[in-house]
Structure 1
Amino acid sequence: MFDDATPVIRRRSPKSQRRRDGLIQFAHDFTSQNGEDGILRHIFEAVLPPNENGIRHCVDVGAWDGRHLSNTFSLLVGPKHESITIAHDQHNDGSWIGHHDSRSIWRGVLIEADPGKFRELQSLHEPLGNTCLNVAVSSNAVSESSLASILQKSTVQQTLPLDFDFLCIDVDGADYWLLHDVLTNTSYRPKVICIEFNPTMPNDLVYIPPCNDNLRHGASLAALVELAEMHNYLLVETTIYNAFFLPKHLYEQCFQDLVPDTSIEALHETTMVTSLYQLYDGTLKLWGCKKLLWHRLPIEEERFQMLPPSQRNFPFAPNITSTTTEISDPVVDISAYCQSQVTEPLHSRRECSSQLLEQLKSHGFALVHGTGISAQLCRDALRMTHLFLQEADESVRRSCMSIRDRARRGYSPINTENFASLIGEQGPNDLVRKFRIGSESSTESSLLQPNIWPAPSEHWDEETCDEFRSVVEAYYDAICIAANSIVQCICDGLLQEDEGLAASLDFLSSSNSQQSSNQRNGIPTTGLAHKTSILTLLGYQTGSRHTKKHHKKKRAVHPLVAAHTDVGVITVLLYDSGDCAVLQRQVSNSESDKGKFKDVVLPYPVPDDPIFVVNIADCLSALSHDTLPSTIHRVVPAEGSIPRNCLALFVGFDPDQELKLKEGKTVSYETWRKDRIAESQKVLRNRMSVSKS
């Protein structure tokens, strides 16, 4: 049975071209890791004839302590060292223990950089007459510590034949350049070469790492084969990590029947490759090895996605406006107010305002569409929000911090604001990054200030800065126009229901129906929403409050943004499908539902007719004589790891706008705001003093 909503992903075993009838059939481990001891035993005892003097020579670069995972211990020490303990594994059935080449005496040059391991190496091998060198071999060919320089020093050169028997290189990263140095800059031509390659690289990849001692990348098998063939060496076998090469003439004399095919495909099968593939919507997926092999950390797909979730859609998909994503509430179509307002039938507008009012009266929140804002603008705005708040260097964001008032313009870093204070509560600071813009004015009002935009730098070029500003400004203009229509729709609904609210609400209707030639980018800038409205970009990501609950003991999890109400008129919100955070509203304002919250969910991806969250703020609630509740809401951690990005327009009045409140009091909007915030601070201080006492 298949779940239609879940992709089916499974492995099909490909037809292997790997031959198992060559040297790999002799694989056994004495101290080696993946059968190298057995392969070397067969090469030197069953195939290659012994040297005339009965002495064989090897060079082991990266010898470690001389025994742990060593490819030369069985040659140089073997059973003569009785204290060695051998583990049984897939390449060691016990028959290998105690075997040693009786036809030859081995002498070795063993090189190790680590001082502690070198002392162990020295104590094991110097009593046997082997040469031990404590050197960090350099990949730089002109260095005195290059492998060519070391081998050509008199103490080594006098005892090491040019065609010495075995070269083993295992230095975890720079192996390619050490072999390149020997084959290019010396006359040494070892009979057998064993060298480590990076097993996570596919067979068709030629990857040559930078020649830099401070970088440890490893080379691909194909790169080593290419290097070897340039110097008349052929690949004759591989294990998981190591490749074996022989000179071409020696291969033709002794190994051609045993290894008839020297291609990579015949001699190696990748088992640790990490594959990447793309889905039509731009999602990147992993296949194969899903961990960092040497760090033992999982590779998380979401951490290397090129597109945020809100932008993952197929660009050539048919223009379908419907969505199958489950959303939290019914969606109200407000196109009667946002499109063709002059010719729209009156009954359509009344029906629209009635539906919206019904939703808002219930719990202060509603979902709306039909604003006329293009889906592409919404997607671009979410994309730029993600780019600025999630991906940009922190220096780019901090260059936009306001000296005057971060709560109204520019960047506000994580953990610097506390929305709990808006309802007189005490709680930890909010874990969200914010960036704010709004209308600009030369007046002294704290509600109207210059915007602060990122300037070109080494982290953000001029093109990115310009795109960020143009997209955010375009969205601000468009959402303000939509907000004007939404406020007028709400106002009409309230007046239809209660004409007694006219004294409080008349200025809303009139301010939203004004016409003016003032424009920005060709868009009219009049109306309520362009006066003191602030557009806030918000970015959430996983952090300390996302710690998983203990399965035996449940702990309270602090919200990312504390429970609060908004201060102004309305808030219009758009967000992407990031799953590390979720917006919640209080179920209702009744005392019985206090502390009970419900998720507010928008569809994903952004549909062609975008859907927005609208919630009532404190001032409009007061002007409606509490007909519309200003509902407490919050943002809490979710189980996902994908960052969430939001754009929230907080609609406000002109600072000098007179407000006629329920009790008959008349105050300016700026005064009302200050009094509202001051009252919350007073409540907070009283609660703190009570808790201390």
Structure 2
Amino acid sequence: MARLDAGHLGRLHEMGHAAPGWRIYSQSYQDGILERIFDLFGTANKQFVEFGLGYTSGAALTDAAMDALQLNTRKLVRDRGWRGVYFDALVEAPAFGVRRALLTRNSIVNVFDKAGVASDVDYVSIDVDSVDAWLLLGLLEGGRVRPRVISLEYNGNFLASDAVSMNETWVPWKGRSLHGASAKALVDIGARFGYRLLYLMSYFDLFLIREDVLASRCALHTVPFLAEQARRKLPTKQHLPCKSLDEVDRLVDVRYLLGETDASTARTLARDALERAEAALESLRKRGLRPTCCARTGTPICKFS
């Protein structure tokens, strides 16, 4: 997978050419990454959970519609006989394993229990562009659910050294730069509960693996930490600028989630992280060292009129 990195420094529309055969259903090359991960580490039950379905049509779901949703797990279902459940806040489609549920930090484990999710479910995919870090925390903090592998979409606008997240209030994503959580925020939460970063994509997702699963096939010291994996990847400007101070006010340092600081301090720390990210991106733009993911997003993270 490391060989893909050099091919993924360009715009999103170029990414499909970098890994032939690795992108069939997924948004980028998650299809290939997941197959490689489970070829190496094996499976316990071939069960998955994915949420953040993103289906907004009023029409009934079909096989073709499921194929087009850019799901991380679709190829596992189609080609490898996996089974699982999809959670969505709006859609219910039992024929495709889609359950309607509003997931929060406090409800996520109960929702998993009601759906019959195994405690050692092989794979969980989290992509809600908002409270991702809170859902990861809620999933792991009780110890009842211990997925073997977890992927989360991260916010690539931030430095690899800054751990920030949107606050616990879910808001719909409107295509702007403040969303979800930084890579370090997600990695730090995972580390608290015995997970290591396995792979950081240049855009989109990072993959966490339970330490005992990793140790079954690899010496832990051979897997690069975030700082090394993020070299040449972070920060990378994504999406349109935020335009409201309300969006900035929803940003908090991950230490607030972990109970290590208060909300006011967490907001101040997050604003400092935002300023560092803006400065780093501006420096990279001036030196021509970091392309943006899309032509129209070569702009600041936030721009207030």
Q: Same fold (TM over 0.5)?
A: yes
Q: Distance in 2 between matches of 1:138 and 1:76?
A: 26
Matches of 2:234 and 2:299, distance apart in 1: 19
Residue in structure 2 matched with residue 190 of structure 1 by the alignment: 147
- Give 2:208's aligned amino acid: F
Q: How does 1:262-277 map to 2 (within 5 A)?
A: 262-268=224-230, 269-270=233-234, 272-273=236-237, 275-277=277-279
Contact kept, 8 Å, 2:50 with 2:73, in 1: the verdict is yes
User: Is 2:44 the partner of 1:58?
Assistant: no
More strand by share: 1
How many Å separate the matches in 2 of 1:301 and 1:270?
14
Equivalent residue in structure 2 for 1:220, among 179, 182, 187: 182
Partner of 1:111: 87
What are the Cα deviations for residues 6-56 of structure 1, in whole angstroms up to 9, with x where unaligned? xxxxxxxxxxxxx925999996111112211111111223x12344xxx41
Which amino acid is 2:23 matched to? Answer: D
Tell me the equivalent position of 1:49.
42
Q: Deviations over 1:202-231 (max 9, x none)?
A: 111111321112376311101111101100
Partner SS state of residue 236, structure 1 = strand
Q: Within 1, Cα distance between the matches of 2:304 and 2:102?
A: 35
Q: Give % identity.
A: 22
1:75 pairs with 2:32: no
C-alpha change, 1:303 and 1:42, in structure 2 (3 Å) is closer
| Aligned partner letter, 1:73 | R
Mark the runs of 5 or more structure 1 residues left unpaired by the alignment: 1-18, 78-99, 279-284, 306-693
1:180 aligns with 2:137: yes
* Aligned pair partner of 1:151 in 112, 120, 130: 112
In the aligned structure 2, how far is the partner of 1:109 from the partner of 1:186?
20
- Deviation, 1:196, is 1.0
Distance in 2 between the 1:277 and 1:271 partners? Answer: 10
Q: TM-score, normalised by structure 1?
A: 0.30
Asked whether 1:20 is paired with 2:2, we answer yes
1:33 aligns with 2:27: yes
- Secondary structure of 1:152's aligned partner: helix
What is the SS of the residue equivalent to 2:216? helix
Letter in 2 for 1:133: R
**Equivalent position to 2:209, from 238, 243, 246:** 246
Task: Please point out which of 116, 119, 136 is paired with 2:102.
Answer: 136
* Structure 1 segment 366-377 matched on structure 2, within 5 A: none
In 2: Cα distance, 1:260 partner to 1:24 partner: 20
1:230 is matched with which residue? Answer: 192
| Residues 409-437 of structure 1: per-residue CA shift (max 9 Å, x gap) | xxxxxxxxxxxxxxxxxxxxxxxxxxxxx
Report if the CA contact (8 A) 1:234-1:262 is conserved: no
Q: Tell me the amino acid that sits aligned with residue 176 of structure 1.
A: A
CA distance 1:168–1:301, shift in 2 (3 Å): closer
Q: 1:255 to 1:276 in 2, by over 3 A?
A: same
Aligned-partner Cα distance in 1 for 2:218–2:4: 9
Alignment-mate amino acid for residue 186 of structure 2: L
- Contact 1:273 1:289 (8 Å CA) reproduced: no
Q: Deviations over 1:528-556 (max 9, x none)?
A: xxxxxxxxxxxxxxxxxxxxxxxxxxxxx
Deviation of 1:173 after TM superposition, in Å, equals 1.4
Looking at structure 2, the residues matched to 204 and 42 of structure 1 have their Cα atoms a distance apart, in angstroms, of: 28
Q: Take 1:50 and 1:224, find their aligned partners in 2: how far apart are those partners?
A: 23
Q: Which letter does structure 2 place at the counterpart of 1:138?
A: T
The aligned residue for residue 286 of structure 1 is: 282
Counterpart for residue 161 of structure 1: 118
Q: Which residue of 2 aligns with 1:656?
A: none
Counterpart-to-counterpart distance in 2, 1:250 and 1:302: 40
**Deviation string for 1:349-404 (max 9, x for gaps)?**
xxxxxxxxxxxxxxxxxxxxxxxxxxxxxxxxxxxxxxxxxxxxxxxxxxxxxxxx
| Larger helix fraction of residues | 2
Rounded Cα–Cα distance in structure 2 between residues aligned with 1:262 and 1:187: 28
**Given that residues 62 and 112 in structure 1 are in contact (C-alpha distance below 8 angstroms), is that contact kept between their aligned partners in structure 2?**
yes
Q: Distance in 2 between matches of 1:76 and 1:109?
A: 11
Looking at structure 1, the residues matched to 208 and 300 of structure 2 have their Cα atoms a distance apart, in angstroms, of: 37
Distance 1:181 1:302 in 2: 29
Letter in 1 for 2:34: L
The 3 A distance-change label for structure 1 pair 24 and 211 is: farther
What residue in structure 2 maps to residue 510 of structure 1? none
Partner of 1:256: 219
Distance in structure 2 (CA, Å) of the matches to 1:42 and 1:224: 22
Q: Which amino acid in the other structure matches residue 74 of structure 1?
A: K
- Shift in Å at residue 301 of structure 1? 11
Q: Which amino acid aligns with 1:41?
A: E
The answer on whether the counterparts of 2:237 and 2:297 sit within 8 Å (CA) in structure 1 is: no
- Residues 152, 289 of structure 1: alpha-carbon distance in 2 compared, 3 angstrom cutoff: farther
- CA shift, 1:270, in A, is 1.7
Q: Give the whole-Å Cα distance in 2 for the aligned partners of 1:238 and 1:190.
A: 18
Distance in 1, matches of 2:302 and 2:208, equals 40
SS at match of 2:222: coil
* Alpha-carbon contact 1:277-1:286 (below 8 Å) kept: yes
Could you tell me whether the CA contact under 8 Å between 1:23 and 1:237 is conserved in 2?
Answer: no
Alignment of 1:335-414 (within 5 A): none
Paired with 1:175 and 1:61, the residues of 2 have a C-alpha distance of: 10
1:183 and 1:59 map into 2 onto residues whose CA distance is 14
**Aligned mates of 1:43, 1:301 — CA distance in 2:** 33
Structure number with greater Rg is 1
Structure 2: which amino acid aligns with 1:152?
D
| Matching residue's letter, 2:162 | L
SS at match of 2:166: coil
Is the 2:43–2:122 contact (alpha carbons within 8 Å) kept by the matching residues of 1? Answer: no
Q: Retained in 1: the 8 A contact 2:156–2:235? A: yes
Alpha-carbon distance between aligned partners in 2 of 1:301 and 1:48, rounded to the nearest angstrom? 38
Structure with higher RCO (Cα < 8 A, 6+ apart): 2
